[in-house]
Chains A and B, each alone.
Chain A
Amino acid sequence: MIQVEHMNKTFKVARRSAGFLEAMKALFHRESETIHALSDISFFIGDGEMVGYIGPNGAGKSSTIKILSGILTPDNGTCIINGRIPWKERKEHVKDIGVVFGQRTQLWWDVPIIDSYELLKDIYEIPTQTYEENLTELTKLLSLGELLKTPARQLSLGQRMRCEIAASLLHSPKILFLDEPTIGLDAVSKLAVREFIRNQNKRHNTTVLITTHDMQDIEALADRVLLIGKGTLLLDGSLSDLMNHRPKEDATLDEIIATLYRDYDI
């Protein structure tokens, strides 16, 4: 379970206008602004829940994920995941979680995927039997087959993403954080990934927190939606709660979300 209470995180951002004169000025005096990436965020996610985490660009979604996975330290507030504080007990904490950052890669560029997996096996100290079982299951569900013998650099984005997701699940994590896992995927891969995540949740009772801009991901995966905007949590409810913000009868999910963003002025 994930329990977050009154969490805040601020960043300093350097700002200046365009132009040579402005650049010269910045040599002597930097203007920086404090951005409240997260302000007073609280939520609770129980075991086995699938939660969609949505919000416009720059709302603080990724920051939350990074704090929950122990990479960032919040300014204040508490966060307890399975009895641990992520950034204080980072090494113990990360054994229990799997993370996919849709825009980054964890696979070794020049070696076949399977070599990267073997390395993860040793890093996470996964027992050989568990590893074999997980690998067989992942290979089947995500149709990795031949991909495993190919170096990461020679895979397409969608193929690589499937390998990334498998890589994050080899150690059977109890909690899965997915930061835009379907970015850049084709229709087939998207469906495969969604299907797979649903399955994981059903079979292993994995808790899933997913951020995405693809509303179909939310529709397909999330029982519950957290809406964040300008660093504050605006809505915590089911998909049908979202539907109440529907501007017209036959509005698409994207239109509903857009209205929602407008309603909350974010």
Chain B
Amino acid sequence: MKKYGSFFRIRFINGLQYRMAALSGIATQFIWGIMEVLLFRAFYQASPDSFPMTFQALSSYIWLQQAFLALYLIWFWESQLFDSITNGDVAYELCRPIRLYNMWFVRGMAVRLSKATLRSFPVLFFAWLLPSPYGLTLPDNWYTWFFTLLAMTLAFLLVVAFGMIVYMSVFYTISSQGVKLLASSVSEFLGGAVIPLPFLPDKIREVVNLLPFASAQNVPFRIFGGDLVGKEMYQSLLMQCFWLTVFLLIGRAMEQRALKRVVIQGG
């Protein structure tokens, strides 16, 4: 376990040193969040009853999304990993007494967490200061807090596990461009990063809810805002566990198959 801890640490420290990137990220997320809230406000003013979420819940959703972008945005790829597979530096990682999948999984977690640590607090604080219903409305019971955290953790692991599948796929293709592009756009729309999933038309939503991407940010952010409660919430949590297991199994199987036939070319 210690090796994973220290792997996590070095990657975490490494992530903390990019200060300018964090600052510009925070600025972008403030402005993006404000624009999105204002945009939805215009819609809500036209007809408040035709929306599936309360405006307050929606604002919380948007602010959490902006604050934890680094945790849940699928397309935060690590180009180093793609490069190391394409150019063969992965050879060194294979010379370590440690499983590649585990090592990269921990690494993925560390990178995302270190980014989120720098960026989330200022955004959350700012959103909390905003007047209701434009800002972040905190839940008033421990029950909601608990399930939000649980769902956030599951969603986070799910995103990392999905990323692993994409990284492993590069062992099978020469260029990662296509997979990256496809994975990014599909997962973003189906995961509720563009618009929250409740806004989708009923029939489509029923299908989308069963897909793995609905088990990412969609679940914790809606629990937090009080939009996802009771039986539906438990179902969503179970779905999260289910998809996490599936992704882990697929990723690890891909790794094992890839390493059997890996060819490190040149030199």
Interface residues of A (CB under 8 A from B): 11, 62, 66, 69-73, 90-92, 94-95, 97, 99, 101-106, 108-111, 115-116, 118-119, 121-125, 179-180
- Whether, in the assembled complex, B6 has its beta carbon less than 8 Å from a beta carbon of chain A, the answer is yes
User: Do residues A104 and B92 form an inter-chain contact, with CB atoms below 8 A?
Assistant: yes
What CA separation (Å) do A154 and B134 show in the bound complex? 47
Top 8 closest pairs, chain A to chain B, by CB = A122-B6, A106-B92, A103-B267, A71-B94, A91-B97, A95-B97, A122-B3, A123-B3
User: Do residues B263 and A123 form an inter-chain contact, with CB atoms below 8 A?
Assistant: no
Q: Which of A90, A97, A101, A125 contacts B92 (CB 8 A)?
A: A101
User: Do residues A108 and B14 form an inter-chain contact, with CB atoms below 8 A?
Assistant: yes
Q: Which of B13, B88, B95, B262 contacts A69 (CB 8 A)?
A: B95
Q: Which of A104, A115, A121 contacts B13 (CB 8 A)?
A: A115
The residues in B between 208 and 227 inclusive whose CB is less than 8 angstroms from any CB of A are none
Q: Which of A94, A102, A108 contacts B10 (CB 8 A)?
A: A108
Min CB–CB distance A60 → chain B (angstroms): 13
Q: A71-B264, A72-B262, A91-B97 are in contact. Are A110 and B91 (CB under 8 A)?
A: no
What CA separation (Å) do A103 and B2 show in the bound complex? 30
Which A residue's beta carbon lies closest to that of B260? A73
For residue A69, which residues in chain B have a CB less than 8 angstroms away from its CB?
94-95
Min CB–CB distance B257 → chain A (angstroms): 12
- Whether, in the assembled complex, B96 has its beta carbon less than 8 Å from a beta carbon of chain A, the answer is yes
Q: Which of A94, A111, A125, A179 contacts B3 (CB 8 A)?
A: A125
Residue count of chain B within 8 Å CB distance of chain A: 27
Q: A72-B262, A122-B2 are in contact. Are A99 and B95 (CB under 8 A)?
A: yes
Interface residues of B (CB under 8 A from A): 2-3, 5-7, 10, 13-14, 17, 80, 88-89, 91-92, 94-99, 260-264, 266-267
Q: Which of B92, B261, B262 contacts A99 (CB 8 A)?
A: B92
For residue B17, which residues in chain A have a CB less than 8 angstroms away from its CB?
110
Query: Count the A-B residue pairs with Cβ separation under 8 angstroms: how many?
Result: 81
For residue B14, which residues in chain A have a CB less than 8 angstroms away from its CB?
108, 110-111
Which B residue's beta carbon lies closest to that of A96? B97
Min CB–CB distance B249 → chain A (angstroms): 21
Q: A71-B91, A104-B92, A111-B14 are in contact. Are A123 and B98 (CB under 8 A)?
A: yes
Min CB–CB distance A1 → chain B (angstroms): 20
Q: Which of B80, B97, B267 contacts A180 (CB 8 A)?
A: B267
For residue B6, which residues in chain A have a CB less than 8 angstroms away from its CB?
118-119, 121-123
What CA separation (Å) do A109 and B2 show in the bound complex? 22
For residue A97, which residues in chain B have a CB less than 8 angstroms away from its CB?
95
What CA separation (Å) do A105 and B83 show in the bound complex? 12
Q: A72-B262, A110-B17, A122-B3 are in contact. Are A91 and B99 (CB under 8 A)?
A: yes
> Beyond A92-B97, A118-B6, A124-B97: 7 further Cβ-contacts under 8 Å?
A95-B97, A97-B95, A108-B14, A110-B14, A110-B17, A122-B5, A179-B267
What CA separation (Å) do A115 and B264 show in the bound complex? 27
User: Do residues B267 and A72 form an inter-chain contact, with CB atoms below 8 A?
Assistant: no
User: Do residues A66 and B264 form an inter-chain contact, with CB atoms below 8 A?
Assistant: yes
Instruction: Name, among B2, B7, B94, B261, the residue most crowded by chain A CB atoms within 10 Å (CB to CB).
Output: B94
Q: A72-B264, A104-B91, A119-B7 are in contact. Are A94 and B97 (CB under 8 A)?
A: yes
For residue A105, which residues in chain B have a CB less than 8 angstroms away from its CB?
89, 92
